Amino acid sequence: MPLDAKFDPATHHFRLVGTRPLRPDGYDKVVGRARFGADASAPGMLVGRILRSPHPHARIRAIDTARAAKLPGVKAIVTRDDFKDGDPSLKDVLVNVMARDKALYDGHAVAAVAATSASVARKALKLIRVDYEILPHVTDVDEAMKPGAPILHGDMRTENIEPAPKKASNVASRCEFGHGDPEQGFKQADVVIERRFKTEATHQGYIEPHACLASVGSDGQGELWVCTQGHYMVRNTCAALVGMDVSKLRVTASEIGGGFGGKTTVFIEPVALALSRKAGKPVKLVMSREEVFRASGPTSSASMTVKIGVTRHGRITGAHADIRFQGGAFAGSPIELGAMSAFACYDLEHVKAVGWDVVTNRPKQAAYRAPGAPMVAFAVESVLDELAHKIGMDPVELRLKNTAKEGTRSSYGPKYNRIGLAACLEAARRHPHYEAPLGPNQGRGIAAGFWFNFGGQTCVSLNVNIDGTVALAVGTPDIGGSRASMCMMAAEELGIEYDKVRAIVADTSSLGYNDISEGSRVTFSTGLATIAAARDAIGKLCARAAKIWGIAPEAVVWENGRARPAGPNAGDFAPLSLAEIAKTAAKTGGPIAGHHEVNADGAGVSFAVHLCDAEVDPETGRVTIKRYTVVQDAGKAIHPSYVEGQFQGGAAQGIGWALNEEYVYGRDGRLQNPGFLDYRIPVASDLPMIDTVIVEVPNPGHPYGVRGVGETSIVPPLAAIDKAKAGKKRR
Amino acid sequence: MVRVTTRINGDEVTFVCEPDETLLDVLRDRLNLTGAKEGCGTGDCGACSVTLDGRVVCSCLVLGAEAEGRQVGTVEGIARNGKLHPLQEKFLEFAALQCGVCTPGFLVAAKALLERNPDPTEAEIRFGLAGNLCRCTGYDKIVRAVQAAAAAMRKG
Ligand code: FES
Ligand code: FES
């Protein structure tokens, strides 16, 4: 359902969209009543715990659980033997959930117990004997690519290279995007710069560890309560992994304490279900923080070579990137997204990005906010900044000269529709921050960022209640205030007050399939489906009014929350409000509901520009962020506070990535900093206020012009901060 | 097992727990007060913040047995008779929560901060709340909400 050509969101007077009402789930969250993953319990519940490999790479010769099983209070133990091979497309997920022949990283699950208490479960884990044959390991991406590196998977042959390799390697695949011929482009350049970059893996760092409560009966039916970004994905994946009918597993998404992409897969859920089935009792399984760091998804670490050429007048003539991502022990790093996004900000004739997907003895990476893009943007934006400096051009000017616009053929293929990068660059240049004087030892950095945004499968149901209120059921877990935005869009369409709509996240048995809350897709797709469901309901409300009046349904229009005859010929009837029609629904045909099911496309790409001032202590080298401004295109901001929140949160995560967050592996292949003390995410005293500018270039793919805003904000910070740190030297 | 008598949010409570059980586990698993969250279990995130005789502590680092004869304050006790505390109101108004899992800890810590210092500077708020991690907001809206609550409370 695209934007109507006659409808301009920039000038349309919205009643609710663009205002800042209180979120419907807010009260519960400030009084401590909201129920997150670990907050549920059930009668007779057991406590689950997972035994994890201390070795980065080891063959598992045998697992002896006999002594643990005899410990009083132990009710079930599961190992690899309890998880049978099934769907080949889920093999890696299964092996990641429970190790098979080998432990592939420090923290890989090898067994799990369910017991009557946490202390019994802990004791039981100590009684399980695992016979390991320790193998050589590799955790660095460049090392893993070298000939002679320890091989993780004997059957891995690099895909997409000619001739097809005969020997196993840690390189899962190669990919390539672009057009033209960069070599020819470099010949036309006055300055060509090539640089090599490395970035370490970071963790999403959600404050709520993974948690679930599983209950499976001997009748084969099960319930699962879980903190996840996608409970339908959890249902389908778990049903396949533990061998259940999809219809027999009902999954409820708890309130979710942060995800950022890290809760888009399964880790402990199939284990909890298997334990529960074996024990015949509910099992609660919660990861410790250490387990979160060691065994849930961090990002890829990256090694990158970027080469860009420009003319003296600031025209980019050629751009090339070679990008190596390790994504942990399994294929599937976000290398394609990284390579596709590398030069997406610019309008280029000669551009190419080559990517390599590499496996190492680290936990399987999971999506993290714009997966793959921040590190690649770091490399590309850094080289651009250096080029701007070299040719003596303002860095914003250089970007404006090459900015992608409507009609530009993107570096990854498709032509852009209406986009907002130029508008963001202009807004950044106009912002008082851009020209503000810098203090001693301070520098300023600027960088641009891109993200694709996604749509996807979405299903929404909207029920009109007897008192004229509306119950809205969506299937996308609310990871940052989306229920508020959905209520606003439904109320806007229906012409009723915001607080008359109540949105819930329905469980998997109550509403049709919904893709995961990821890819910045919720406000776009679920919003689009909510608007369409409201319009569906409006059609039915009009038909009921027509029936009451005894006129044709086409002769009724919906205006300001009321049905009224369309014109003088339709008859002279007093308008009927939604509440009035709802009250008599039983007499006019029964319940009134609107629905919409869609596989949404047209998500509309997103761009941002960040400005950062940093101060470097000349004695200690400590970097302090003094000022930070985020400029980003939201298409149309439904609830501006939560749009700003996404901008600020992404920037803060980027600041952490740039300054102090990093996965540190020792020579022993073990993670050295699996806790918040040593893996230090920014705290309040590390940051300044984060200023935001919401640019609104409507997305033609959404009825109100909405673009997703969740991810782009983590893309520019790495380069912006690095330049701000270095800027001091240059000025 | 030890038997402990304490006061939680003003009410007398008696519970039994293991000698090595944390106050956080007692609150959550035995008393069903799940407002305090476990984000780390090692004193690094502040999601489990409660007050013990008015002082903010990480309840994951306190034993349940240590609550004997003390006053425990949790997020569930901040609203009084169904009326929200100014901090709770301002957190909602300023959108100071995204996922909200850090919110209970921030509210407990911010309330104690404002009781000590009714007119804190931005830096005092930032350092006063530096023991509480929030991964969603970048702290901007949290700091503004605390400033606004402090102003509202000073007006009375
Ligand atoms: S759970 Fe207590 S400080 Fe994190
Ligand atoms: S709102 Fe999610 S951690 Fe603070």
Enclosing H/E stretch for A490: helix A482-494
Question: Which three-class secondary structure state does DSSP give residue A251?
Answer: strand
Q: Supply the CATH number for residue A379's domain.
A: 3.30.365.10
Chain A residues closer than 8 Å to B134 by CB: 207, 684
Q: Mean pLDDT, consecutive 10-residue segments, chain A of 731 residues?
A: 86 96 97 98 97 98 98 98 90 97 98 97 98 98 97 97 96 98 98 98 98 95 98 97 96 98 98 98 98 97 98 98 98 98 98 98 98 98 97 97 98 97 98 96 97 97 97 96 97 98 98 95 96 98 96 94 89 94 97 97 96 96 97 98 98 98 98 98 98 97 96 98 78 39
Kindly state whether residues A710 and A677 are assigned to the same domain.
yes
- Nearest CB among B99, B132, B143 relative to A258 is that of B99
Contact of B99 with chain A, judged by CB distance below 8 Å, is answered with yes
Kindly state whether residues A386 and A430 are assigned to the same domain.
yes
Of A23, A207, A653, which is best to mutate to test ligand 2, by the most ligand atoms within 8 angstroms of its C-beta? Answer: A207
Chain B residues closer than 8 Å to A687 by CB: 126, 138-140
What distance in angstroms lies between residue A503's CA and the mean position of ligand 2's atoms?
21
Would strands A576-577 and A562-565 be described as parallel, antiparallel, or unpaired? antiparallel
pLDDT of residue A728: 54
Q: Per the domain annotation, does A241 fall within a domain?
A: no
Give B92's DSSP letter.
H
Contact of B18 with chain A, judged by CB distance below 8 Å, is answered with yes
- Nearest CB among A39, A481, A677 relative to B95 is that of A481
Domain count, chain A: 2
Q: Is there a contact between A54 and A110 (Cβ–Cβ < 8 Å)?
A: no
Give A334's DSSP letter.
T
What distance in angstroms lies between residue B131's CA and the mean position of ligand 1's atoms?
9
Which residues form the domain of A720?
Answer: 372-453+604-725
What distance in angstroms lies between residue B38's CA and the mean position of ligand 1's atoms?
5
Beta-bridged to residue A253, according to DSSP, are: A226
Kindly state whether residues A546 and A619 are assigned to the same domain.
no
Kindly state whether residues A576 and A665 are assigned to the same domain.
no
Kindly state whether residues A582 and A611 are assigned to the same domain.
no
Cβ distance A288 to B135 less than 8 Å, yes or no, reads: no
- Between A640-659 and A717-730, two packed helices, what is the crossing angle to 10 degrees? 60
Residues A718, A702: Cα–Cα separation, whole Å: 31
What size, in residues, is chain B? 156
Cβ distance A38 to B78 less than 8 Å, yes or no, reads: no
Residues A3, A531: Cα–Cα separation, whole Å: 12
One DSSP character per residue, A376-405 reads: HHHHHHHHHHHHHHHTT--HHHHHHHHB--
Verify whether ligand 1 is closer than 6 Å to residue B58 (CB atom): yes
pLDDT of residue A731: 39
pLDDT of residue A726: 87
Kindly state whether residues A396 and A428 are assigned to the same domain.
yes
Residues A40, A730: Cα–Cα separation, whole Å: 56
The residue whose CA has the least distance to atom 3 of ligand 2 is B134
Q: Per the domain annotation, does A484 fall within a domain?
A: yes
Q: Per the domain annotation, does A235 fall within a domain?
A: no
ipTM for the predicted complex: 0.98
Backbone conformation region of residue A205, classed left if phi is above 0, alpha if psi is from -120 to 50, else beta? left
Radius of gyration of chain A (CA): 27
Q: Which of A553, A568, A600 is the last residue of a domain?
A: A600
Enclosing H/E stretch for A427: helix A421-430
Three-state helix/strand/coil letters over A565-582:
ECCHHHCCCCCEEHHHHH
Q: Is there a contact between A690 and A631 (Cβ–Cβ < 8 Å)?
A: no
Ligand closest to the CA atom of residue A205 = 2
Q: Which of A572, A600, A628 is the last residue of a domain?
A: A600
State the CB neighbour count (10 A cutoff) for residue B102.
28
What φ, ψ does residue A618 adopt, rounded to 5°? -65, -20
Tokens describing residue A355: 């990517």
Kindly state whether residues A488 and A579 are assigned to the same domain.
yes
Kindly state whether residues A513 and A479 are assigned to the same domain.
yes
Closest-CA distance, A426 to chain B, in angstroms, reads: 25
Q: Per the domain annotation, does A251 fall within a domain?
A: no
Residues A224, B118: Cα–Cα separation, whole Å: 45
Kindly state whether residues A478 and A610 are assigned to the same domain.
no
Q: Per the domain annotation, does A227 fall within a domain?
A: no
Question: Which three-class secondary structure state does DSSP give residue A46?
Answer: strand
Interface residue of A20, A22, A25, A30 to substitute, partner B, most B CBs within 10 Å: A30
How close are the terminal C-alpha atoms of chain B, in Å? 45
- A620, with CB counted inside 10 A (0-12, 13-18, 19+), is exposed
One DSSP character per residue, A636-675 reads: S-SSHHHHHHHHHHHHHHHHHHHHT----B-TTS-BS--S
Q: Which of B7, B118, B116 is nearest to B72 (CA)?
A: B7
Q: Which of A566, A583, A600 is the last residue of a domain?
A: A600
B116: Cβ contacts below 8 Å, ≥ 6 apart: none
Q: Is the peptide bond before A56 cis (omega within 30 degrees of 0)?
A: no
Q: Which of A533, A535, A555 is nearest to A543 (CA)?
A: A555
- Nearest CB among B99, B102, B129 relative to A479 is that of B99
Kindly state whether residues A460 and A439 are assigned to the same domain.
no
Chain B residues closer than 8 Å to A119 by CB: 18, 20
For A159-193, b where at least 16 C-beta lie within 10 A, e where not — what string?
A: eeeeeeeeeebbbbbbbebbebebeebbeebeebb
pLDDT of residue A586: 96
Residues B58, A682: Cα–Cα separation, whole Å: 19
Q: Residue A129 half-sphere exposure, CB side, CA atoms within 13 Å? A: 5
What distance in angstroms lies between residue B79's CA and the mean position of ligand 1's atoms?
23
State the CB neighbour count (10 A cutoff) for residue A54.
18
Kindly state whether residues A465 and A576 are assigned to the same domain.
yes
User: What average pLDDT does this structure show over B117-121?
Assistant: 98
Beta-bridged to residue A671, according to DSSP, are: A665
Ligand closest to the CA atom of residue B40 = 1
- Between A373-390 and A717-730, two packed helices, what is the crossing angle to 10 degrees? 30
Expressed in percent and rounded to 5, the helix, strand and coil fractions of chain A are 30, 25, 45
Beta-bridged to residue A143, according to DSSP, are: none
Domains of chain B (ranges; CATH) run 2-77 (3.10.20.30), 86-155 (1.10.150.120)
pLDDT of residue A729: 47
Q: Which of A8, A40, A14, A16 is nearest to A500 (CA)?
A: A16
Kindly state whether residues A506 and A539 are assigned to the same domain.
yes
Tokens describing residue A462: 């909207």
Contact of B33 with chain A, judged by CB distance below 8 Å, is answered with yes
Q: Which of A411, A414, A412, A191 is nearest to A316 (CA)?
A: A191
Verify whether ligand 1 is closer than 6 Å to residue B133 (CB atom): no
Verify whether ligand 2 is closer than 6 Å to residue B137 (CB atom): yes
% chain B with pLDDT above 90: 98
